[in-house]
């Protein structure tokens, strides 16, 4: 547990999910089932599933401190899926925009990197069935929840994060003042809430809970009553990869049913099961 805490201290998991991730990369997304089948035939013939990922997004895709091996929740899901399809897996590390371009160019077969399923992306890409279900939360001061009880109370509050995150966009839509941070670690965000430089940091609930657990000496909490922006994540692939999608869905559902994905979730998310939809009342958003 101490090693996990040190890992999280050194990383920034509170300011991810850039707004650019809402947008699909340009390219020819449409083809036909015949093209999709040809791609699957080529994958089987080569015996390799090529997967793009960042290698820098804890805990879904990162390098182990002990071995420097690429690992993480979605990396291990991809490894297990490939094994069940009798394939080797080959990872290529790159930024998110590069992933979408590489999918459309055929450089990789798919990408995994905590990628939200949304209508805009579904116009240009295929997704597997989801295996992570999440939602937004807020880190606030414990005595008064930083004066925030509804999303409307964000008006005039100071919200910290990277400039182009989905959560920064949500905060600013409600009138919060965005305080931009670049490449800082979690303790910086949390201490700035504690000392009043910030009022709130908004981000993924599971990632925030890891940060809170790793830094118990900092007097902040996750707001207990205010959750929003339900979302889910899956593998993303080219629009015509229909047969690949079908085969991935088959093994992903096997992994959900036999508990493999739950075990991986508990391993990488501090005992939490992100593979089930949360039973939560979400705040209405604009």
For the stretch 88-125, pLDDT in tens is 999 999 988 789 999 999 999 999 998 889 888 899 99
Q: Are residues 120 and 238 in the same domain?
A: yes
Same domain, 241 and 224: no
The tokens describing 45, both together, are 């013939």
Domain that holds residue 152: 134-229
> Do residue 75 and residue 147 come from a single domain?
no
Residue 252 lies inside a defined structural domain of this protein: yes
Asked if residue 160 and residue 91 are part of one domain, the reply reads no
User: What are the start-end ranges of the E strands in the chain?
Assistant: 48-53, 62-63, 70-71, 88-93, 110-111, 125-127, 132-140, 158-161, 177-180, 201-204, 221-222, 228-233, 236-238
Specify the pLDDT at position 26: 44
CATH of the domain at 259: 3.40.190.10
Same domain, 94 and 210: no
Q: Are residues 35 and 127 in the same domain?
A: yes
Of 198, 238, 270, 285, which Cα lies nearest the Cα of 15? 198
> 201 in the Ramachandran plot: left (φ > 0), alpha (ψ -120 to 50) or beta?
beta
CB burial readout 106-120, b (16+ within 10 A) else e: eebbbbbbbbbbbee
Separation CA 206–CA 39 (nearest Å)? 35
Is the separation of the CB atoms in 222 and 139 below 8 Å? yes
* Interval 24-81: pLDDT, tens: 444 444 444 444 448 999 999 999 999 999 998 889 999 998 999 999 999 999 999 9
Give the E-state strand segments of 187-260 in sequence order.
201-204, 221-222, 228-233, 236-238
Instruction: Mark whether 60 and 180 lie in a shared domain.
Output: no
Per-residue pLDDT band for 166 (boundaries 50, 70, 90) equals confident
Are residues 49 and 126 both part of a single domain?
yes
248 or 15: whose pLDDT is higher?
248
Per-residue pLDDT reduced to its tens digit, 264-282: 999 999 999 999 999 999 9
Distance CA 103, CA 106 (A): 5
Q: Are residues 79 and 210 in the same domain?
A: no
């Amino acid at each position: 547990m101490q090693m996990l805490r040190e890992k999280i201290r050194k990383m920034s998991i509170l300011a991810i999910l850039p707004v650019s991730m809402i947008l699909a990369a340009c390219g020819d997304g449409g083809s036909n089932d015949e093209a999709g089948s040809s791609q699957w035939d080529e994958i089987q013939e080569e015996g390799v599933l090529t997967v793009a990922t960042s290698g820098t997004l804890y805990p879904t895709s990162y390098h182990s401190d002990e071995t420097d091996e690429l690992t993480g929740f979605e990396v291990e899901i991809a490894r297990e899926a490939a094994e069940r399809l009798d394939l080797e897996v080959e990872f290529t590390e790159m930024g998110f925009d590069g992933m979408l371009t590489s999918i459309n160019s055929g450089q990789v077969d798919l990408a995994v990197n905590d990628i939200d399923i949304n209508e805009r992306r579904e116009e240009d890409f295929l997704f597997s069935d989801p295996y992570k279900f999440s939602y937004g939360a807020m880190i606030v001061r414990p005595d008064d929840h930083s004066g925030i009880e509804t999303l409307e109370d964000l008006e005039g509050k100071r919200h910290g994060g990277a400039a182009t995150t989905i959560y920064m966009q949500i905060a600013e839509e409600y009138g919060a003042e965005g305080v931009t941070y670049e490449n800082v670690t979690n303790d910086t965000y949390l201490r700035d809430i504690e000392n009043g430089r910030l009022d709130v940091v908004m981000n993924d609930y599971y990632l925030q809970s890891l940060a809170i657990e790793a830094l118990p000496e900092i007097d902040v909490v996750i707001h207990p009553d205010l959750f929003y922006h339900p979302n889910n994540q899956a593998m993303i692939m080219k629009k015509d990869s229909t047969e690949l999608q079908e085969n991935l869905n088959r093994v992903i559902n096997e992994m959900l049913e036999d508990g493999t994905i739950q075990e991986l979730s508990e391993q990488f998310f501090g005992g939490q099961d992100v593979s089930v939809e949360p039973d939560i009342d979400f705040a209405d958003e604009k």
